[in-house]
Structure 1
Amino acid sequence: MDKFSRRELLVGGSRLGLLAGATLAVPGFLTACGGQSSTSSTGGKLAELQAKKSVRIGVANENPYGFVNSNGEVKGFIVETLAAVLAPLGITTLDPVVVPFDALIPGAASGRFDLIAGGTYIRPERCQAVSFTNPVYRSGGAFLKRAGEDVPVHSLLDVAANPSVRIGTQTGTSQVAEIEDAKIPSGQVVKFGADNESVAALKAGRVDVIYYPSLQAATLVSTNQGAIERVTPYTQIMKDGKPVFNYGALAARLDDTDIIDALNNGLKTIREDGTLKKIFATYGLTEDEIPEASVTAADLCK
């Protein structure tokens, strides 16, 4: 696969192709005031979008990142994060262009759309094709358990140390290798062909916890409300004394650094005022998915 292949984490979503007319209009915000006209004269991307009050966004139609629902509304925690950042700038309409995941970066680079609002990890090779904002989210692993029940494990190492605990995960995923790396005996591990099979086994008591990427886990919780929940706190896999995460962000054409700078400023604001946390909670995400403020795109692009 080429360097723009799917990220390691995949949360299912149907393919819709190019959708015309599906928009997200953000109520309650007015056009940015003051120097909009003089800014437009500079010809930068930010000024262009402020003049139009709208932006074309590339999404891969994947829940919970960015997708168009059955009512033609564009949704997703990344989309809503972007809307919250752009609204104070006077950009209040988001027009989605739905493409396969591996067409997101080429689409932004070629100008097919203005911004990527899908679940795109920052990778050094991708930084050669598009400009990334600082991370919007981070993704590690997560345990799910039956709602209302206590479990004595909060990490893979806890499972390895407790022979009475049975853990489930999905065949063919990186989680299988991570379980093996944690030296969890095979007798404690149950593998399933699909995530819904894992959830069914968890509900039936065949396993005590199931192990998935954190964003996929959040989606499973939202689609099985009241039946399962995340194990908190959860300790991520450690490497060199630090937890291992993947970091996802918004992205634009390489030349559009003015919009990237504006987005970074906005992301900082909504992180500090609690808006980002509220948006994440709407999609079942927790503070564990909010990246450290010290991690930047510049660091991850090296």
Structure 2
Amino acid sequence: MNNALLKTILAGVAAITMGAAVANAGPLMDRIEAGEPIRIGFANEIPFAYPGDDGSPKGFVNAHALGVLAKMGYDNIEPVQTEWGGLIPGLNAGRFDIVTGGMNILASRCENIAFSEPMAKVGDAFIVAPGNPKKIGNYESLAENDAIMVTGAGYSNIEAAKAAGVAEDKIMQVPGPTEILAAVRAGRADAGAGTYFTVKQLADSSGGAVEVTDPSAMPEDAVNWAGIGFRKDDQDFLAKFNAAQKEYLGSEEMMKAVAEYGYGEGSLPGDKTTEWVCANR
């Protein structure tokens, strides 16, 4: 084989290899290689993800995602705040690259975007009067103690309580978290229901007027898992993110970063995979 022919063959192999690499690289890697920042999208969902006074990304999901990205060697990050309903459309429209908003992994969402492996287990819990006088720990205990539950209108807690035997006239519906706290503080309700992270924040802000129950007392079907959202054509970056997250999740460094937002050992996702969650939630 002469040198000219050998050079032609090698050039062809190089072109094919380069073409395969380009084909496997998604838009996010293209942006990174061009020196563009990684844009993280989130809404104003305390304590999951929200903007600080200076617009910086706060919340335990942002803290976690930034930690994973740092482990991957990426620190050129641009926060993008939007409405909750705009997170998935904004991601797929290319307005940002990653959703760090604290989004639960659900079958309907798995059809539209790709999720990282779970980074948090998101269960329900209650706020109750100090000392938990009616010994409320789960929905069944509400019915057993003839307790009045308050929660937000349209919250999933309503159906969960009814399924556990709580009478409809024992379920008070209010606009949102502020009103849930007010009802329990005033004694109009024995327990206020919501996600653990929501009610934990209410308890922390109450000055000791209420306390939060143990989320592990809730039934398995009341539990969801949150992940980081990606475009489906960024599978290459997602695979690298999952590998880095596996090393970072639950580490001393990670737990220190998220502690101020109420994320503790009980918030770790356990052994559930995104594939399982997409099929079962």
TM-score by length of 1: 0.73
Equivalence map 1:66-81=2 (5 Å)? 66-81=49-64
Residues matched between the structures, number = 256
Give the equivalent residue in structure 2 for 1:200.
182
Deviations 1:188-233 (A, max 9, x none): 4444344322212322333332111223213323433433221125
CA distance in 1, matches of 2:247, 2:113: 23
User: Hey, what does 1:134 align to over in structure 2?
Assistant: 117
Which residue in 2 is equivalent to 1:297? 274
Residue identity opposite 2:195 in structure 1: P
Is 2:149 the counterpart of 1:167?
Answer: yes
CA 1:170/1:89 → structure 2, altered by over 3 Å: closer, same or farther? closer
Q: Which amino acid aligns with 2:107?
A: P
SS in 1 for 2:236: helix
Q: Is the 8 A contact 1:53 1:91 kept in 2?
A: no
How high is the sequence identity, in percent, across the aligned residues? 27
- In structure 2, the gaps of 5 or more residues are 1-20
Higher helix proportion: 2
Q: Which amino acid aligns with 1:212?
A: G
Q: 1:81 to 1:51 in 2, by over 3 A?
A: farther
Q: How does 1:176-195 map to 2 (within 5 A)?
A: 176-186=158-168, 188-195=170-177
For residues 58 and 186 of structure 1, the distance between their equivalents in structure 2, rounded to whole angstroms, comes to 38
CA contact (8 A) 1:222 1:283 kept: no
Q: CA RMSD in A?
A: 2.8
1:282 counterpart residue number: 260
Larger RCO (CA within 8 A; separation ≥ 6): 2
CA distance in 2, matches of 1:233, 1:213: 9
Q: 2:217 aligns with which of 235, 239, 245?
A: 235
**1:143/1:234 contact within 8 Å kept:** no
In structure 2, the CA distance between the partners of 1:158 and 1:277, relative to structure 1 (3 Å rule), is: farther
* Larger Cα-atom Rg: 2
1:87 Cα deviation (Å)?
Answer: 0.9
> Secondary structure of the equivalent of 1:117?
strand
1:132 Cα deviation from its structure 2 partner: 1.1
Distance 1:225 1:291 in 2: 29
Tell me the distance in 2 between the aligned counterparts of 1:206 and 1:140: 24
Change (3 A) 1:196 1:288: same
Which range moved further: 276-285 or 209-218? Answer: 276-285
Distance 2:170 2:215 in 1: 22
TM-score (norm 2): 0.78
Match of 2:241 in 1: 263
Q: 1:110 to 1:224 in 2, by over 3 A?
A: same
Matched, 1:83 2:69: no
* 3-state SS, counterpart of residue 157 of structure 2: helix
Q: Is the 8 A contact 1:251 1:260 kept in 2?
A: no
Unaligned runs of 5+ in 1: 1-41
Moved more, 221-230 or 63-72: 221-230
1:84 CA drift (Å): 0.7
